[in-house]
Structure 1
Amino acid sequence: MLKEFYADLHIHIGRTEKGRAVKITGSKNMTLKNILETATSRKGLDLVGIIDCHSPEVIEELEQLIGEGKAKELSKGGVRYDKTTLIPGAEIEIYDENCHGPIHILAYFPSIEKMRAFSMWMSTLQKNIHLSSQRIYCDGRTLQRKVYELGGLFIPAHVFTPFKSLYGKGVKKSLNEVFDANLIDAIELGLSSDTYMVERMSELAPYTFVTNSDAHSLGKLAREYQKIRLADASFEELKKALHQKDGRSIVTNYGLNPLLGKYHESVCADCGERITEEGHTRCPFCGKNHLIKGVSKRIAELSSAPLAEVERPPYIHQVPLDFIPGIGPKTISKLLDNFGTEMNILHEASINELAAVIPEKLANMIHLARTGKLGITVGGGGVYGKIDVDGT
């Protein structure tokens, strides 16, 4: 029998238990144990992809959890911790002779053994295997073949962000410039885009889209996520869902409205003004030439094909609880005490049930947030958009 599961497949580790930095920009309390505990008891996530599991100390911590009986490896892939399954992964930066800029990709593996083998292989091609998102000194197709040799999944990450992404600067027009199109399992859209924005990009038609948080702090887990139809939360079932086999599939993508994304519009890096008119090579406000091309503009450049006739799951523009004005830690704590997890608050609790716990105005704000009806001030140039209560 197939059931529905919530999954966030792009979560960073900030530090190991010994204090070694993994994702330097990640919060120090983003340890493996804290992530797993937050995912299962607070967020209500059934499946998480932790994409710094190539780090040797992280592998040791995973083995320690299993040795202590706090986690177990699943026969169909993944590591189960309480009610949450961890899929071991790695984020890697490619910048070979075919790239026009660095590209981040995500690789996932079914077991700790496969993850260790991949880590050992990468350690001969990277300067520091302990750190996240490090550049690998091989070409994209070689990396793809290694991931597949080990039975892994290969997914280009946040593909439209201006920096370190496939379409941001990595390629001029097509993913075929760098990758073998047949060895890609899915496409991660990223925070400043959604399904509807890329309907005219024909080369993406064969791929399932995933929406993930790219969390660098515990509060950002499930900032974006998906509901997946599976028989169980495991690596093999996830792989089937990404390829829409045996009834497994992504049911719904949940993500920020792209207008909230920090790279949605083009912005001058010097003065911060938004550039909405076409054709500018210099800022019309300050005259400098440090323009950051917005995701919306980049997608428009790549979208010359007719509307793709691809049936995709709905993309819900959902606003996370901590983005909503007036809903702070105390209110969230009260909601968690009553409803258990954030997934329950966002998907199960009715507006009347919410209003019995918190003020009616805040309950209504949550209802508007989970239906994509809150007003928004557009983001760009590395600054997130904001909820505009007056514009709701």
Structure 2
Amino acid sequence: MLYHLFYPLHTSFIGFNVFRYITFRSIGAAVAAFLIVLVLGPLFIRTMRRLQIGQVVRDDGPASHLSKQGVPTMGGVLILAAIIGSSLLWARLDNIYVWLIMATTLFFGLIGGLDDFRKVTRRNSAGLSARGKLVLQFGGAAAVGLFIFFHPGFDGHLSVPFLKDIRPDLGWFYVIFAMIVIVGASNAVNLTDGLDGLATGPTVVSAAVYLVFSYIAGHIVIAEYLQVPYVAGSGELAVFCGAMVGACLGFLWFNAYPAQVFMGDVGSLSLGGALGTVAIIIKQEVLLAIVGGVFVMEALSVIMQVGYFKITKGKRIFLMAPFHHHFEKKGWHETKVVVRFWIVSIILGFLAIATLKLR
């Protein structure tokens, strides 16, 4: 919005020319989203407490988590408001990718909101059925995949980090692949969201890395120099990613141990869906497995645990899944688990950026 209001005036006052630059608007989006969460956070927390919308803790988890019972949840609504509000303010609204990413984020947030609502109203940790949730997720992801597939200039080749000469063409299978990436990312972030600040930190890192890659993908000269896929118009996604970074940092202010509010599924499903969608649009799908390695590790730990449990009829690989609970069971304090997972995420973020030159 600000771009459309002020940039046309740059002929009268040269200072307005800064609204032309994606870098400036990305920073503005991050700061604005951060301030929105910081200002509205206390009011939101008080409102949730008054309405008695609190966290429902699973009864088979670590005993230390019982103290989290009743802590305000659905903080993802605050994150979504900051991301969408800031994106509308700082992004170019004539860019189709901006509307696509916002619509996808809101759709996955709606799924998470329905899940949270059922948990709160029923006073147990069982929300939407797994099948029902997946049907809705795959439906939304299919819409994104088909849009990208039929969008002019679509390239079905897969970009593989570190290997510039290996780009398999997925053809029609790309739609299925896109669905798996988006739904997988959404659920992986959801599984990671089990400790105070645990999912928020890696999300900040992932969004920051994709901010860089979105900017590069939308700049034809830099994209060609670094030999990464050029996607016309995708640079505006850097503004959206900036808003994600700012909103999550603002939320972390209240979500750090001991958490005053939890994001709930409305936050985790939407953030994961957003990351997966950005990865699809800018053709950096495989990169998500690197920068989002913490999310991948958490999801794989659940898959491995469940599969091994069924095959061996009762045996377990980990003391408890997702993976972060395993370390809690081993005696690590919650903050130690969170900070060490953050450290791993930051290192993976550096590795992801290094793929720009290591090819």
TM-score relative to the length of structure 2 = 0.28
**Whose strand fraction is larger, Structure 1's or Structure 2's?**
1
- Relative CO higher for 1 or 2, CA cutoff 8 Å, sep ≥ 6? 2
